[in-house]
Structure 1
Amino acid sequence: MSVDLRAVPRPALFGLVPLTIIQVAGTVGASSHQTGHRGLDALAVVIAVLGPLSLVACVRWPRQVLAFVVAITAAYLLRDYAYGPVFASLAIATVVTVVRGHRLVAWAGLGAVVGVFAIQRLAYDHPWSWSGLSGVVAWALLVVAVGEVIRVRRERISASRQARAEASRRQANEERLQIARELHDVVAHHISLINVQAGVALHIVDRKPEQAQTALEAIKDASKDALVELRSLVGVLRDVDEKAPRRPSGTLASLEDLVERSAHAGLQVHKTVRGDVRPLPSSVELAALRIVQEAITNVVRHAGATHAEIELAYDEAALSVTVEDDGRGFAPGDAGGTGIIGMRERAETLGGTLEVGRSAAGGTRVHASLPLRSRS
């Protein structure tokens, strides 16, 4: 069993030197005062030295070191040497073994030493007393108790660190999921409008070039807005400060641009606001905007509609968002689409709900209720 001294903490190595001196000097002193025991010889000194030296390997091999220390301590007792600080190595090895989780081994080792002590008292006809034996047992229990306290404390510290690390990982996962939602919504909305406008421009470029120019201008505006939002998201991923956009993004004020761009794509959108308009938490405004964007994107891409209604209803407890169109209508199979899943996740993150079904005009109706205060 080789020991790499470089793997042993420096304070532990430095502490073994005074411990060795204390054990040797204490053993010599005890032998001079306890005349009823065997006199000091070379074996007693060797045992006093071997105990501290063996602790060098205690961190890596706690059970083996404890067994060795128990063996030399039992040999010390059976030789009937004077009682002294030779038991310090046993106490340290026991505490380390308990802290490393080998509790039964520690109990067994101390129990064996207590048993040898009782045998030694009887074998050498020393005065017997229950108080003396009780003192030895109490010392053994104290050593184990110290080890248990240290072990529990270390486990609590480790559990606390793991909990913090888990919370950090969970927060990072939630942030990545939020960024993924943002990327999906930004790309899907703007690219869908660009795709529709590009199709219109190709269709009428020869017959109505002035309308083709309008479609190309709409493509330019949509692509510019998409780049601004994508740059902002990439800045978050890179953890760098990007130049602030020239106009606010991620607020319900952006719906005016959405209505205008949708008109260029051939979809007439009408916005209605009910209740007292007032500043809302940024998370609610962003969720409402992305839900409306995704709903309009689905209308442009899939519904074949010509008209859509956006309604924002403010009340004291929640913001209600409703988007209806006069297109093909809602099919239950569409409920599992990525866009609808993303809208529902945004609403549920805030403690709200999202419903998708048929509108009164026969198209699709998306309704979300977003609480203004998160649920505890």
Structure 2
Amino acid sequence: MTAEWSQWPRRHSRAVDVVIAILLCGLATYASRLAPDHGAGQGAVVVRPASLAVFGLSALASFTLLWRRMFPRAVLVITTACGVAIGALGFDMSIVTAGAALVAAYSIGLWTSDLRTAKVAPVIAGGVLLITSLLNQFWPLLNPGRITLVAAVLVAGAFAEAGRSRRDYLAALHARAELAERTREEEARQRVGEERLRIARELHDIVAHHMALAHAQASTAAYLLRTKPDQAQEMLDQLAGTTSAALRELKATVGLLREDDSDAPLEPTPGLAQLSELLTSFERTGLTLSLSITGVPRPLSPGADLTAYRIIQEALTNVTKHAGTSAATVRLVYSRLLLTISVTNAGGAVPEPVRGEEDSDSQGYGLIGMNERAVSVGGHLQAGCRPDGGFEVTTELPLEPPKPPDDEDKTL
């Protein structure tokens, strides 16, 4: 309830201005009837008839206050001129008779965009009214009317400065809130985009790997079915296992997108611990593989471990689909800070679609995805044809996760 009442003057500013104008006009007209009687002693006043001129000037000054927000400079000039005219008619200059000019001084300090004008104009207006009062009656120099007039000018300037500071402060808070909201929205969109890209890479690697194996196993089974039916059944059993593994990994990946299944158990994230199983699955398709490990194997961060597994998987999948050879070599080299992975298909011609970057319309995003994976964990990847033939994919991955920017700044 209190908050609603505090907002009422702002919502009904025109009604407030009308009430202020009527009150100031009435008070100025009434104050013009009272004047100190210096001959009768201190505190005595003389009651004079109401002055029609004072009423007209006060009404004009009060009426112009209705436009004090739109034209504060012009309103201050008119109200000050009306106050000077009232003083020129022989009436005492006080906070009551010059009330409209004081309200205008407050308004120009609050609503004028020029800060210098906002500070200087009220002082000039107060000085003009004070000089008018001195010209009308110089002695006594410090009478109550002049003291209140000077004090009112200072208070009006102080209130205007406080109002301007509060308005600027609220505007700054509003701007900061909007900036924070936009930043949160942009950050949320960026995180959604990164998550979509991560899931797209996972789905690509899963589908490409298992579909390549399934295609090779199905082709082999079709060939053996005509020549060696007993071996064809074994190959078909392997094909069933390949498709089952593909379905399990797809379920685990897609399950991340379902909020209702967030507590459901998922398959463990693959890594180099499953490298032997990965190589075995390729060997079943007829691909001859050799694995060499140099250095002391060390554990990787979960992200780097998954990246290493997926890069080897995608590289061998490309060998199965594109390379004109049935042999490939996988090398793991552990150093103090890095794990270097090389997947090479020695000999044989490499089809044109595999050289360089793949064509996104026909060959998918294999090499692009491998490079994105390596960069996401702080590594880098190189892929290209070997001078002696074949194709090689080499990536270097950090054995420790990269430090966040804040931590790096603190160590400098």
- Give the TM bin, normalised by the shorter chain: 0.7 to 0.9
Q: For 2:242, which of 203, 219, 222 is the aligned residue? A: 222
Asked whether 1:284 is paired with 2:322, we answer: no
Q: For 1:187, which of 191, 203, 207 is the aligned residue? A: 207
1:266 partner SS: coil
1:250 partner SS: coil
Q: Which residue identity does 2:214 align to in structure 1?
A: I
Give the drift of 1:271: 2.5
1:351 partner SS: coil
Aligned-partner Cα distance in 1 for 2:244–2:190: 34
Cα 1:290–1:75 change in 2 (3 A) is same
Cα 1:89–1:206 change in 2 (3 A) is farther
Asked whether 1:66 is paired with 2:69, we answer: yes
Cα 1:131–1:275 change in 2 (3 A) is farther
Once the two structures are superposed, residues 290-349 of structure 1 have per-residue CA deviations (whole angstroms, 9 ceiling, x without a partner) of 111110110000002211122222333122211111242486972211211111111112
Cα 1:88–1:116 change in 2 (3 A) is closer
Q: For 1:202, which of 222, 227, 241 is the aligned residue? A: 222
Q: Is the 8 A contact 1:322 1:367 kept in 2?
A: yes
Residue matched to 2:368: 341
Q: Is the 8 A contact 1:321 1:369 kept in 2?
A: yes
Asked whether 1:212 is paired with 2:243, we answer: no
2:381 partner SS: strand
Give the drift of 1:109: 8.1
2:402 partner SS: coil
Asked whether 1:363 is paired with 2:390, we answer: yes
Residue matched to 1:165: 185
Asked whether 1:272 is paired with 2:292, we answer: yes
2:260 partner SS: coil
Aligned-partner Cα distance in 2 for 1:322–1:25: 90
2:261 partner SS: coil
Aligned-partner Cα distance in 2 for 1:366–1:133: 83
Aligned-partner Cα distance in 1 for 2:227–2:21: 108
Unmatched tracts of structure 1, length 5 or more: 1-8, 55-63
Give the drift of 1:267: 0.6
Q: Which moved more, 1:168-177 or 1:106-115?
A: 106-115
Aligned-partner Cα distance in 2 for 1:87–1:290: 78
Aligned residue pairs, count: 349
Residue matched to 1:59: none
2:382 partner SS: strand
1:237 partner SS: coil
1:160 partner SS: helix
Once the two structures are superposed, residues 82-119 of structure 1 have per-residue CA deviations (whole angstroms, 9 ceiling, x without a partner) of 45599779968986x78xxxx46x98788877776666
Residue matched to 1:311: 331
Q: Is the 8 A contact 2:105 2:122 kept in 1?
A: no
List aligned pairs for 1:99-118, cutoff 5 A: 103=113
Q: Is the 8 A contact 1:308 1:324 kept in 2?
A: yes
Q: Max radius of gyration: which structure?
A: 2
Asked whether 1:155 is paired with 2:182, we answer: no
Aligned-partner Cα distance in 2 for 1:309–1:154: 61
Cα 1:66–1:324 change in 2 (3 A) is same
User: Given the two structures, how large is their TM-score scaled by the length of structure 1?
Assistant: 0.73
Q: Is the 8 A contact 1:66 1:109 kept in 2?
A: no
Aligned-partner Cα distance in 2 for 1:165–1:359: 46
Give the drift of 1:283: 0.5
Q: For 2:379, which of 330, 336, 352 is the aligned residue? A: 352
Cα 1:177–1:46 change in 2 (3 A) is farther
Give the drift of 1:44: 7.2
Q: Which residue identity does 1:354 align to in structure 2?
A: L
Asked whether 1:244 is paired with 2:287, we answer: no
Q: Which moved more, 1:309-318 or 1:108-117?
A: 108-117
1:240 partner SS: helix
Q: Which residue identity does 1:374 align to in structure 2?
A: P
Give the drift of 1:355: 1.2
Q: Is the 8 A contact 1:307 1:325 kept in 2?
A: yes
Q: In percent, how many aligned pairs have the same letter? A: 27
RMSD: 4.5
Once the two structures are superposed, residues 189-237 of structure 1 have per-residue CA deviations (whole angstroms, 9 ceiling, x without a partner) of 1111111212222222222222222222222222222212222222222
Asked whether 1:373 is paired with 2:394, we answer: no
Q: Is the 8 A contact 1:201 1:212 kept in 2?
A: yes
Aligned-partner Cα distance in 2 for 1:251–1:258: 10
Asked whether 1:298 is paired with 2:318, we answer: yes
Aligned-partner Cα distance in 2 for 1:172–1:87: 58
Q: Which residue identity does 1:305 align to in structure 2?
A: T
Aligned-partner Cα distance in 2 for 1:140–1:161: 31
Cα 1:47–1:224 change in 2 (3 A) is farther
Cα 1:113–1:94 change in 2 (3 A) is closer
Unmatched tracts of structure 2, length 5 or more: 36-49, 84-95, 139-145, 359-364, 406-412
1:277 partner SS: coil
Residue matched to 2:197: 177
Q: Is the 8 A contact 1:259 1:269 kept in 2?
A: yes
